[in-house]
Amino acid sequence: MESVHEPTPAGASSAGGEETSTAPGLRPERVRWGRERGPGAPGDRLAPRLGPSSPELAPFHNPIPLSERRDGDVGVSAHLPALDIPLEEVDFVSLDCETTGHFPHRMVELGAVRFRLDARREGNHQRLLLESLVHTTDHINPYARRVHGISRSMLTGAPPLHRVALTFHRFSRGAVPIEHSADAFDTRLVAKALDRPPPRLHLDTSRMAGFLFGLRDTIGLERLCERLAVTHRQPHFALADAEATADCFVELVKIGQREHGWRTLGDIVAVGMPPEPRPVEAPKSRPRAEGEAAAPGRRRRHRGGRRRRPATYTTEGST
């Protein structure tokens, strides 16, 4: 009897527990044994993972090329609108980042949507979409890999972090950043990659939802989408999360305009802007008084084995 070899499906594990190539938009099967294969060399173009939701959005997906050099105004938070400007005249950009899942957090994917609240540009075809994987050689936490489905082998050919951050800076210039994070995690992550302070204005949809609905705890993005009847096409994909954040923001603004009379950018900033991060200060040691002996230091335990005990026997009479 002749043996028939069936084709290996995309994303299935090959011999030896290593992952094979995965079709765009599909999650790869996690590595079940052995070490995760490291990424290859970085690439010189944006590497989308999800892509636009329809062919009509293809011209608006990744509309700018990958940036190659640092612009002169990267370190300046310029061109941001004033607080008294009407909401219909403000450009917004929602963003979401996927990371390695452990400290220090390294970005592995970025997604962003630039849009306006103007009724004449309300359709999705008027939005600009930015999406790319980010090359890194850092280890990805197994739990984070199960959540967002990104392994290090998928980052082969993806652009490095500084070029993706520069591209996002060009993409979002003059727009107010929006994210679903009470501590502005994604905004500060991009600012750190650019070696610049966070933007002067940035908004959080979870704080806006907490104000409008009287919530005590932070609401997750998927729960907020269910409450506002917003479609979330693929959770934990950076572009899909950014799209869902933008749609939730539009619905929250409609509620705020109807119930609280929001008309200007300052009305939203008053309830939706995260607080400034607290400075971390090193603990100060108490000055020692004159003649006071120093406190005995703690003896560090030897890692990886038993504590080394001093010998209690003598060598007298030993042969």
Model confidence pLDDT, tens digit, residues 254-266: 999 999 999 999 9
Query: Is 18 or 79 the better-scoring residue by pLDDT?
Result: 79
Residue 316 pLDDT class (50, 70, 90 cuts): low
193-207, 213-227, 284-298: which range is least confident on average? 284-298
pLDDT over 70 percentage in the chain: 70
Instruction: Report the alpha-carbon distance of residue 51 to residue 95 in Å, rounded.
Output: 15
The mean pLDDT value of the chain amounts to 82
Helix (H, G, I), strand (E, B) or coil at 11: coil
Domain that holds residue 178: 55-68+79-272
DSSP reduced 3-state for 110: strand
- Whether 270 shows a pLDDT value over 70: the answer reads yes
Write the DSSP symbol of residue 13. Answer: B
Instruction: Flag whether pLDDT at 181 surpasses 50.
Output: yes
Asked if the structure places residue 310 within a domain, the reply is: no
Each residue's pLDDT tens digit, 56-70: 999 999 999 999 865
15 located within any domain: no
79-123: pLDDT as tens digits? 678 999 999 999 999 999 999 999 999 999 999 999 999 855 555
Q: Would you state the structure tokens that stand for residue 316, as one six-digit string?
A: 């007298």
Asked if the structure places residue 104 within a domain, the reply is yes
For residues 128-147, average pLDDT: 96
Q: pTM for this one?
A: 0.77
| Residue 115 near residue 246 (C-beta atoms within 8 A) | yes
Q: Kindly tell me if the per-residue pLDDT of 237 is higher than 90.
A: yes
Predicted confidence band of residue 275 (pLDDT cuts 50, 70, 90)? confident
pLDDT of residue 315 exceeding 80: no
* Domains in the chain, number: 1
The CATH number of residue 184's host domain is: 3.30.420.10
Q: Is the dihedral of CA 239, 182, 186, 97 positive or negative?
A: negative
The neighbour count for residue 97, using CB atoms within 10 Å, is 26
- Phi first, then psi, for residue 211 (nearest 5°) are -70, -45
Residue 183 or residue 35, greater confidence: 183
Q: What span, in angstroms and rounded, lies between the C-alpha atoms of 119 and 128?
A: 16
Question: Can you give the pLDDT at residue 21?
Answer: 44
Beta bridge partners of 99: 107
Are the C-beta atoms of 127 and 249 separated by less than 8 Å?
no
Specify if 24 maps to a domain: no
Query: Is 245 a member of any domain?
Result: yes
Q: For residue 300, give the amino acid letter.
A: R
In the block, tokens 């082969």 appear at 156
What CA–CA distance (Å, rounded) separates 313 from 147?
A: 56
Q: Is residue 290 domain-resident?
A: no
d(CA 252, CA 263): 13
- Does 41 fall in a domain? no
In a domain, 4, yes or no: no
